[in-house]
Structure 1
Amino acid sequence: MTNNYMAYFLTPRIRLGDLFLTVLMGAFLLMSGCSKNSSGPDNNPPLIDSIVTYPTSVHPGSDVVLTAYVTDPEGDSISVKWSTYPKAGRFSDTLASLCTLTVTPVLEGGMSLKVMLNVSDGHADRDTGIWIPLIEGETVSGHAYYAGTRIPVPGALVSVGRLVDTASFSGAYEIRHLSPGPFTIELSKDGCTDYSEQLTIDTGLIHDVLLECDGLTNTVTGTITAYNDLGLENVKVTILNDEGTPTGLVDVTDLSGGFTIDNVPPGNRLIAVEDVGNPVYQVLSDTFIVKIVNDTAIVLQGQIKNVLFISQGVTNPDDWILEDLAFWKSWLMNSENQCYYYNSCEINGFGLMTMADTVLVPADAENVTWFINVTLNDATLVIGYIVDGVSIYTENVSSQTGDLLISKKINIPNVDIAGHELAVELYVWSNQVQDCASACLRRFELSYYK
């Protein structure tokens, strides 16, 4: 009881009215401190005065310099941040008021790129954006080839400045969005010597590059022989491009038929052989496919010509049957021009002459071929084949007017003439009923290669 009594008298007594007045004054002071009439300063976001671009329009893949002019009303420190939408380039510094934007080269001329700027003083920020026009540039294109050839070098890296392309399987490349004027083009590939050249860009520049690739190419050595294993000299051996045209990779066989060709690209290579003056044989022009992986030694068998039948001039008229047969009329002999002769105004009918004797085509013969030296004037010449005494096939030789030298491999559908008796007939007639047509046969030859 004593403690409670003492506590009652020691505690100050507060009247209810005094307490209400105290709370009311505190609320007034709190409200007045947060009012617009408070002595604390207002904050305004930074101002973006302007954005300057140089140049004002650019090629995809090139640079544009951006300068932001910004101020803050209160003089606060300002931060900036650049971006593009969509992401279409690389900034040298996204947080600097002066920076360089490298535009991605995958965009196209005629488009526009939106560049956005955000500025902040730490309390408030402001955003704006500009559009930069993209313009078409010039293009340089071409192919990367192995030196001395038009054989492609796929995978070669081609660059002009920061613009890059990779040569395709066909060796093709294309660099776009270039400004007119001088530039340096560079190519590189493992195994090849780096290439660099100064060029001047103009409209649609095409520039093929020949790469020295000692680390990739090989040496091909070999021998050209006949069927009897005799080496064939003076035969030109040429590496061909993929489309069959000759490269600059060439050699001519020596006395023993040997040859060596350096710098041959790897892969399945076409090799052509051509007689350029063998003193003994006529060698058939032919093409071989050889797989080149490393330095390669090969043996190629050249086919040599063997004559079955030859008619030169009119010195051996017994070679031909010169007789009329119904409306087929015999060719005439023209000693002055040394030819068998047909003239539709002198001969009332079509012309015909047939080999007097057949020839046996050897069973191992390949590429049985005929050769004709004839002059035609508004006439059609046709050849017919007689196999084992039966006429089985005819084909057109020519209807062209002029002096003609024609050689063709005999190809009779579904018939292999090797090992069979063969003779030919030559037919001729006028192309125009009203005009005189003529033919003058100077040489006819049948041969095969083995």
Structure 2
Amino acid sequence: MFHLKVAAGTFDNHAGAAYIYSMTDKYILDFGLLRRSILLEPILTIAMGLFLLVSGCSENSSGPVNTPPIIESIEWDPAAVHPGSDVVLKVIANDPDGDSVRFRWTTYPKAGLFSDTLSDLCTLTVTPVLEGGMFLKVTLYASDSLNYNDTSIWIPLIEGETVSGHTYYANTEIPLPGVVVTIGKLIDTSSFRGAYEIKHISPGLRTITMVKDGCGDHTADLTVDSHMVYDIYADCPGLTRTVSGRITSFDDFGLQNVQLTVLNDDRTPTILSGVSDNMGNFTIEGVPPGKRTLTLEDLGNPVYHILSDTILITIVNDTNLQLRGRVKQDLFVSEGIDHPENWILQDIDYWKRWLVDSAGQCFLYNSCEVHGYGLLTMANPVSVPADAEAVTLAIDADLEDASLVIGYIVDGKSVFTQDVAMGTGEYNIVETVDISKVNPLGHELAIELYGLYNHSDVCASICLRRFELAFYK
């Protein structure tokens, strides 16, 4: 506790009447005294003279002199405070004449709020908009109704700790704006992006609360330390919505075991999801309103393979969706060395044929055995439906210091090549055919696989275990 001892201030005792002035002499600080008008000054002077003559008083007469109150000290606790926190003020004062003493506390406008401005013991709540490193001036006036004294103290303000973070809808990282977050008497409201920051917190165990219409209240105890980050996940049944519906194939067959997941704004998955039943029906609870992105993922349909996909929806109220999943249908499949007739296994000009490996597991390109670059071409093209929505290829292969290049042949003409793998390792590749460069829709499509060595003095090899060409619709 800080203790300040001050000397008595000056006062004005003129013509038997007391005046108490504030910062300028234009305004009289009223402690219950009567103000006198300048217009009455002459009348009061004449009346006082007549009174002295009638009463027999002269200028040698004397009467009791009023002594103003004495402010011995002002104490405050704690000695230094954080903006937004409380400081307890106490004055020790007396009046030599035994008069009753009245007090009044003041500070800068909007700098703080006193629990009782007229008490000798009160609490001052410092506004949180001030900053550490400042000093807050507090002035005390003491009056006995005739004279007054005043003194001021300067309370140091210190920096506190900061707690910041975001407010999100439960089970997501989708921002929840407009949340009122409170720690003690300090408060902030989360922004459009859900961000909040509360400064000037005394370190130690503190309670944080959040309030927002439509959401359940949130309360937690925090041990506040340097630059603490605390994210709040709010359950808001009054704000979130239910998304339900049905997902079917192009032939209106209900698609089972399709997982639909709501994405965060950064397109990472939330834990809000639903899985379709054997009729294709699904439900997702607790979805935040607004523009939302959903992903569709095949968890293992007994009949169809469904293409992973994303959809964009706008949610205002509870929403029912009718979705169509894109179902995969095979165009060409090569597994191991089954059906070698599906490939052209012969030299073509300076391109060397691929071989069957000795273990009978894959079609093999080996630069040291064929002495050059290798070429593996589909024996017959496949017809791609004009209404297909996507064409994909899948490759499972092992490479040893080699490069694998794909060539696309549309209606008998080579139109595009694409590097798909290079180096050494096991590769599992799934590619969607770039329709902007290769447009196979409604056309015949064949694939060529080129095996290339990276170094002429090293044997390069490619072991193709599986190749698949498919479309979705």
Amino acid at match of 1:360: S
Residue 439 of structure 2 aligns to a residue whose secondary structure is coil
Residue 305 of structure 2 aligns to a residue whose secondary structure is coil
Partner of 1:234: 257
1:75–1:248 Cα change, 3 Å: same
Partner of 1:316: 339
Q: For the residues of structure 2 that align with 1:422 and 1:315, how far apart are their CA atoms?
A: 21
Amino acid at match of 2:432: K
Deviations 1:112-163 (A, max 9, x none): 3333334455565555433322223233333333333333322222222222
* Segment drifting more, 68-77 vs 294-303: 68-77
1:60–1:253 Cα change, 3 Å: same
Partner of 2:85: 62
Deviations 1:50-91 (A, max 9, x none): 332200111221101122334456555544433334642111
Query: Could you tell me how far 1:259 is from its partner in structure 2?
Result: 1.5
Query: Could you tell me how far 1:448 is from its partner in structure 2?
Result: 0.8
**Residue 285 (str. 1) matches residue 308 (str. 2):** yes
Q: For the residues of structure 2 that align with 1:49 and 1:436, how far apart are their CA atoms?
A: 99
Partner of 2:217: 194
- Counterpart of 2:357 (choices 329, 334, 346) is 334
Contact kept in structure 1, 2:394 and 2:467, CA below 8 Å: yes
Partner of 2:415: 392
Partner of 1:23: none
**Residue 307 (str. 1) matches residue 330 (str. 2):** yes
Amino acid at match of 2:264: N
Give the alignment's Cα RMSD to 1 decimal: 2.8
Residue 306 of structure 2 aligns to a residue whose secondary structure is coil
* Segment drifting more, 221-230 vs 184-193: 184-193
Contact kept in structure 2, 1:314 and 1:335, CA below 8 Å: no
**Residue 111 (str. 1) matches residue 134 (str. 2):** yes
Partner of 1:5: none
**Residue 296 (str. 1) matches residue 332 (str. 2):** no
Contact kept in structure 2, 1:146 and 1:152, CA below 8 Å: yes
Q: For the residues of structure 1 that align with 2:144 and 2:458, how far apart are their CA atoms?
A: 101
Q: For the residues of structure 2 that align with 1:435 and 1:86, how far apart are their CA atoms?
A: 84
**Residue 96 (str. 1) matches residue 119 (str. 2):** yes
Q: For the residues of structure 1 that align with 2:72 and 2:232, how far apart are their CA atoms?
A: 51
Residue 81 of structure 2 aligns to a residue whose secondary structure is coil
Partner of 2:247: 224
User: Rg: which structure is higher?
Assistant: 1
Q: For the residues of structure 1 that align with 2:153 and 2:75, how far apart are their CA atoms?
A: 10
Q: For the residues of structure 2 that align with 1:434 and 1:157, how far apart are their CA atoms?
A: 70
Q: For the residues of structure 1 that align with 2:352 and 2:376, how far apart are their CA atoms?
A: 8
Query: Could you tell me how far 1:232 is from its partner in structure 2?
Result: 1.0
**Alignment map for 1:41-190 (pairs within 5 Å):** 46-72=69-95, 77-85=100-108, 87-121=110-144, 125-190=148-213
Contact kept in structure 2, 1:191 and 1:216, CA below 8 Å: yes
Amino acid at match of 1:258: N
Residue 318 of structure 1 aligns to a residue whose secondary structure is helix
Unaligned runs of 5+ in 1: 1-25
Amino acid at match of 1:82: W
Residue 341 of structure 2 aligns to a residue whose secondary structure is helix
Contact kept in structure 1, 2:337 and 2:360, CA below 8 Å: no
Contact kept in structure 1, 2:416 and 2:437, CA below 8 Å: no
* Segment drifting more, 353-362 vs 335-344: 335-344
Partner of 1:14: none
Residue 155 of structure 1 aligns to a residue whose secondary structure is coil
Q: For the residues of structure 2 that align with 1:423 and 1:275, how far apart are their CA atoms?
A: 28
Q: For the residues of structure 1 that align with 2:428 and 2:158, how far apart are their CA atoms?
A: 58
Q: For the residues of structure 2 that align with 1:400 and 1:133, how far apart are their CA atoms?
A: 68
**Residue 409 (str. 1) matches residue 432 (str. 2):** yes
What TM-score, normalized by structure 1, do the two folds share?
0.84
Query: Could you tell me how far 1:268 is from its partner in structure 2?
Result: 2.1
Residue 124 of structure 2 aligns to a residue whose secondary structure is strand
Residue 75 of structure 2 aligns to a residue whose secondary structure is strand
Partner of 2:296: 273
1:45–1:398 Cα change, 3 Å: farther
Partner of 2:469: 446
Query: Could you tell me how far 1:305 is from its partner in structure 2?
Result: 0.3
Partner of 1:382: 405
Q: For the residues of structure 1 that align with 2:436 and 2:283, how far apart are their CA atoms?
A: 40
Deviations 1:172-200 (A, max 9, x none): 33333222333322222222222223333
1:125–1:392 Cα change, 3 Å: farther
**Residue 424 (str. 1) matches residue 451 (str. 2):** no
Aligned length: 420
Deviations 1:262-293 (A, max 9, x none): 22222222222221121111111111122222
Q: For the residues of structure 1 that align with 2:294 and 2:325, how far apart are their CA atoms?
A: 12
Deviations 1:390-437 (A, max 9, x none): 222222212253211110111143553311222222223334455433
Report percent identity of matched pairs: 58
Unaligned runs of 5+ in 2: 1-48
Q: For the residues of structure 2 that align with 1:375 and 1:108, how far apart are their CA atoms?
A: 65
Partner of 1:16: none
**Residue 362 (str. 1) matches residue 355 (str. 2):** no
Query: Could you tell me how far 1:449 is from its partner in structure 2?
Result: 0.4
**Alignment map for 1:31-42 (pairs within 5 Å):** 39-40=62-63
Deviations 1:336-355 (A, max 9, x none): 15112223344433333222
Residue 401 of structure 1 aligns to a residue whose secondary structure is strand
Query: Could you tell me how far 1:306 is from its partner in structure 2?
Result: 0.9
Contact kept in structure 2, 1:222 and 1:300, CA below 8 Å: yes
Partner of 2:46: none
1:38–1:347 Cα change, 3 Å: farther
